[in-house]
Structure 1
Amino acid sequence: MSQWYPKNGRVIFHIDMNCFYASVEMAYNPKLKGKPLAIAGNPEERKGIIVTSSYEARAKGVKTTMPLWEARKLCPNLIVMRPNFDRYRMASKEMFKMLAEITPHVQPVSIDEGYMDISECQELGSPIKIAENLQQEINNKLDLPCSIGIAPNKFLAKMASDMKKPMGITVLRKRDLPHKLWPLPAREMHGIGEKTAAKLNSVSIKTIGDLANKDVYQLKQVLGINGERLKNLANGIDSRPVDPDAVYEFKSIGSSQTLPNDTTSELDIRKLMQSLADNVERRLKRKNAAGLSVQLMIRYHDLKTITRSKKLKVYIEKKEDILYVANDLLQKHWNLEPIRLLGITVQDAEEKQHIAHQLDIFTYEKEAKKEKLYTVIDELSTKYGENTFKKLNKNKDNDQEQPRTSFQKDFLDDYKK
């Protein structure tokens, strides 16, 4: 057992749920199993954008972020469903509970993936045995497939879990790098996007092995300090611990949404801006936080994307303050071309207990008078849903909130409750 549990090393798992949203729907309705299934955000609007798809759909060329019309062209018998985030969140919670039963050292990183440090789990058997038992338990109890990467650090565990899907278990040790990791294209390395891959290609780095063996000085010239970090990762060097409390760390809280149609309608744009600011305010309250800057993201009809931000002198948390700054950024930086997507993010966020409040007596009295009203509104919103008062005068059909294709991380500690 000692060769599996090195005295001065770690044994890390990366658990990656396979086609998670689609797999949850198949578990909920077994008749969907074996069929090409896609989960699409707002399928009635813009003909939908693919959020995820089953392996049967992927075999036909269906990919995440692909427009639904294109996916249907590739796979005419594609079954399309709207996202059911409550269902996915519950499945995620149950999955992470199973991980936490093995070790307290569990770090969720998204709804469908997380890390475990099993270095102190020798009494449960070899890492491979633990992985096999965990994989089978998740499959038997939740009817969900997953892949597990086993490695001495988080980066290698993440890379390993991608090497065999679905239902794969892959071990990746440092001695395996020359024949398992280094031959892979640099673009397939976790942490390298298209722009970074293009920069690496410009200096003749085409594989992960090329990156691992490149002179660090040359890498810094191309990528700055990130060049040295990527070189270390390519060589299997990663000292980051599995941190169960990392889920509570945040520096920004935001919300974004695609418009039903590319638009220049100021009415539609302002309406969405209000909705986004409301979402951000609610998430700030959930974190009991405030932020020092606001960022606006605009994605145009041609997919060109810009982000503009404004640093503030005081922390803000209220919807009206967030919206005021975001609208100012929109007025200054929108070029009046049709907009496809908008996003509002409050950055430089801190928990309010860490923020020194320096309110003058007049500000304090003003806020104190509002506090009871805010409390009542929050209680009603929690019980009956947001915009409780507005709903009394709104047409029912217009009040249906559209599902989001992105998923916030506010819930990632649910499994501890």
Structure 2
Amino acid sequence: MADEVHIPEYEEGFRRLQADRFGFLHIDLNSFFASVEQQLHPEWRDRPLAVVPTMADTTSCIAASYEAKALGIKTGTQVGEAKRICPEIILVAGSHTEYAKFSHKIAEAVERCCPVAHTPSIDEMVCQLIGREQEPPRARKIALEIKQAIKDDVGETLRCSIGMAPNRYLAKIASDMQKPDGLIGLLPSQLPRAIAHLELRDLPGVGAKTEIRLNAKGIRTMPELLALDRTGMHALWDSVWGDRLYHWLRGAATGDDGAPVAAEVQKSLGHSHVLGPEHRSQEGAWAVAHKLLHKAAMRLRMEKFYTGSMAVTIKYMLSREEAERMKSKKHTSGIKHSGWGMEARFPDCQDTLSLLDILRKMWAQRPVGPEFQKPFFVGVTLRELVPEDEFQVGLFGDPDNRAQLSSAMDKLNLKFGHTTVHFAGMLPAREAAPTRIAFTQIPVQYGTEYM
């Protein structure tokens, strides 16, 4: 039968040798951004709510409360469609600063019960269990204590699902198996049968493109994947990832336990922004790009890097006629668009004025045709990062004292707010492009604000 999982005799022996213990707890905050808003605003509790990047029908929801999810509104739903489904839905512009604060508070609450070993994203935490903590009754007790600590220390709307498993990869899978407020454990003796009912897309690292590739190789279901031996798994992925996945799905640890491989040195940093209707003009887009660079340059110095490359991206709205005439793409907001991008290389620097000169020269080379008149998205990324301690000072130093100017600006902005002192070009967008929600990292507080 298609839903049966064949486990060879040698695997049965391996499984019996594994102790039925949990090595990791994966904590996944449920509808985190929406739950924070409901905690801050009691009048919004038990009501459909969506967090959005900007107040425009063409953008998409980045989080939805469980009341909204029950109606079919979820992450990625276009705001206009969400309004059609639920005219009374509460729409809230996301507050990156508040979510960062809550994430730190939750980490402190979790730490009261068990040390946090890893933080994969702003709404996820991983605890590694040791000794007798790994015994299922004790692990379950710790998980329940974590749930209660978050409720007591942070707020009653903040619920989490916790997955318990022998390795990090399975713990992540388990945390997604029961929502909201779930608690699922996957023991070695239950594997791999306990996950045979899942879809391939339920596996971390298997997205739409990977699923299509697996389907093309004859793997369409979890039982078909689990029936492969280690050699077959290696061949399926054509890499050591297949070998690791083979072991992880059977409860074994391979040393990294599903952790992403970290780069030795950070490669880039930057900011992007979907423009509000009031900034969807050439002047507005430039002002926002100016502010994005201002923030990126400040981060560059705070994180002690120099940069040798800058990339700029602009996306332009198209009319229906233009979209049909051109090979247009569709943004996640549903907007049909054309796009332009450019990268420039230059001697390593970190001061805002030098970087602004480079941005201005790149900006002057943007396209000017009729299909490039309605910008709605701008992104600025600094690449080729060099740690300060590896930076080679130029022969002529800093004749214009630009580094000192940036340092003085940083001191004032850290004390009084990140836009207290800035160059005039970003004035029209001074309050635009606020720090946005970070899905894959915990925001860092610099001075009075988060970035």
Q: TM-score, normalised by structure 2?
A: 0.75
Do the aligned residues in 2 keep the contact of 1:293 with 1:309 (CA within 8 Å)? Answer: no
Task: Provide closer, same or farther for how the CA distance between residues 273 and 292 of structure 1 changes in structure 2, counting only shifts above 3 A.
Answer: same
Match of 1:155 in 2: 169
Deviation at 1:202, TM superposition (A): 1.8
Alignment of 1:86 with 2:97, yes or no, is yes
> Whole-Å Cα distance in 1 between the matches of residues 185 and 38 of structure 2?
29
Alignment of 1:198 with 2:231, yes or no, is no
> Whole-Å Cα distance in 2 between the matches of residues 323 and 400 of structure 1?
19
Number of equivalenced pairs:
399
- Secondary structure of 1:357's counterpart equals coil
Deviation at 1:177, TM superposition (A): 3.6
Match of 1:275 in 2: 291
Deviates more, 1:373-382 or 1:16-25: 373-382
> Whole-Å Cα distance in 2 between the matches of residues 54 and 167 of structure 1?
13
Alignment of 1:407 with 2:438, yes or no, is yes
Match of 2:274 in 1: 258
Alignment of 1:388 with 2:388, yes or no, is no
Instruction: Please list the CA deviations of residues 238-289 of structure 1 after superposition, one character each: whole Å capped at 9, or x if unmatched.
Output: 532699xx89973321211112359984433332322221221122122112
Do the aligned residues in 1 keep the contact of 2:23 with 2:164 (CA within 8 Å)? Answer: yes
> Whole-Å Cα distance in 2 between the matches of residues 140 and 158 of structure 1?
24
Instruction: Please list the CA deviations of residues 13-64 of structure 1 after superposition, one character each: whole Å capped at 9, or x if unmatched.
Output: 1111111111112222222221111111211x45543121111101111111
Match of 2:304 in 1: 288
Q: Which of 49, 59, 80 pairs up with 1:37?
A: 49
Match of 2:321 in 1: none
Match of 1:165 in 2: 179
Do the aligned residues in 1 keep the contact of 2:38 with 2:45 (CA within 8 Å)? Answer: yes
One-letter amino acid of the counterpart of residue 384, structure 1:
F
Match of 2:236 in 1: 219
- Secondary structure of 1:401's counterpart equals coil
One-letter amino acid of the counterpart of residue 90, structure 1:
K
Match of 2:64 in 1: 53
> Whole-Å Cα distance in 2 between the matches of residues 205 and 331 of structure 1?
50
Do the aligned residues in 2 keep the contact of 1:38 with 1:80 (CA within 8 Å)? Answer: yes
Do the aligned residues in 2 keep the contact of 1:16 with 1:148 (CA within 8 Å)? Answer: yes
> Whole-Å Cα distance in 2 between the matches of residues 327 and 398 of structure 1?
16
Instruction: Please list the CA deviations of residues 283-332 of structure 1 after superposition, one character each: whole Å capped at 9, or x if unmatched.
Output: 21221123344344455543269796758474343344545556666677
- Secondary structure of 1:91's counterpart equals helix
Alignment of 1:366 with 2:366, yes or no, is no
Deviation at 1:104, TM superposition (A): 3.8
Deviation at 1:351, TM superposition (A): 3.1
Deviation at 1:232, TM superposition (A): 5.3
Higher radius of gyration, 1 or 2: 2
Match of 1:129 in 2: 141
Match of 1:16 in 2: 28
Deviates more, 1:327-336 or 1:294-303: 327-336
Q: Which of 379, 385, 410 pairs up with 2:411?
A: 379
> Whole-Å Cα distance in 2 between the matches of residues 201 and 131 of structure 1?
37
Match of 1:352 in 2: 388
> Whole-Å Cα distance in 2 between the matches of residues 29 and 117 of structure 1?
34
- Secondary structure of 2:142's counterpart equals helix
Equivalent runs, 1:300-339 vs 2, <5 Å: 301=317, 302-303=329-330, 310=343, 312=345, 314-323=347-356, 337-338=371-372, 339=375
Query: Which one has more relative contact order, counting CA pairs under 8 Å at least 6 apart?
Result: 2
Do the aligned residues in 2 keep the contact of 1:41 with 1:48 (CA within 8 Å)? Answer: yes
Do the aligned residues in 1 keep the contact of 2:315 with 2:376 (CA within 8 Å)? Answer: yes
Deviation at 1:70, TM superposition (A): 0.6
One-letter amino acid of the counterpart of residue 82, structure 1:
A
Deviation at 1:120, TM superposition (A): 4.4
Instruction: Please list the CA deviations of residues 338-370 of structure 1 after superposition, one character each: whole Å capped at 9, or x if unmatched.
Output: 5442322223434323x142421x1x2426x34
> Whole-Å Cα distance in 1 between the matches of residues 355 and 188 of structure 2?
47
- Secondary structure of 1:267's counterpart equals helix
- Secondary structure of 1:114's counterpart equals strand
Deviation at 1:138, TM superposition (A): 0.7
Structure 2: segments with no counterpart, 5+ residues = 1-17, 318-328, 332-337, 447-451
Deviates more, 1:63-72 or 1:25-34: 25-34
Match of 2:73 in 1: 62
> Whole-Å Cα distance in 1 between the matches of residues 364 and 426 of structure 2?
28
Deviation at 1:383, TM superposition (A): 2.3
Match of 1:3 in 2: none
The root-mean-square deviation of aligned C-alpha atoms, in Å, is 3.8
Do the aligned residues in 2 keep the contact of 1:274 with 1:323 (CA within 8 Å)? Answer: yes
Instruction: Please list the CA deviations of residues 196-243 of structure 1 after superposition, one character each: whole Å capped at 9, or x if unmatched.
Output: 22222222222234334452464246xx66555555555555532699
Task: Provide closer, same or farther for how the CA distance between residues 350 and 386 of structure 1 changes in structure 2, counting only shifts above 3 A.
Answer: same
The sequence identity of aligned pairs, in percent, is 25
Task: Provide closer, same or farther for how the CA distance between residues 393 and 235 of structure 1 changes in structure 2, counting only shifts above 3 A.
Answer: closer
> Whole-Å Cα distance in 1 between the matches of residues 242 and 415 of structure 2?
49
Deviation at 1:158, TM superposition (A): 0.8
> Whole-Å Cα distance in 1 between the matches of residues 195 and 340 of structure 2?
35
Alignment of 1:184 with 2:217, yes or no, is no
> Whole-Å Cα distance in 2 between the matches of residues 177 and 117 of structure 1?
20
Structure 1: segments with no counterpart, 5+ residues = 1-5
Q: TM-score, normalised by structure 1?
A: 0.81
Deviates more, 1:8-17 or 1:147-156: 8-17
> Whole-Å Cα distance in 1 between the matches of residues 184 and 368 of structure 2?
49
Deviation at 1:392, TM superposition (A): 9.1
Task: Provide closer, same or farther for how the CA distance between residues 266 and 411 of structure 1 changes in structure 2, counting only shifts above 3 A.
Answer: closer
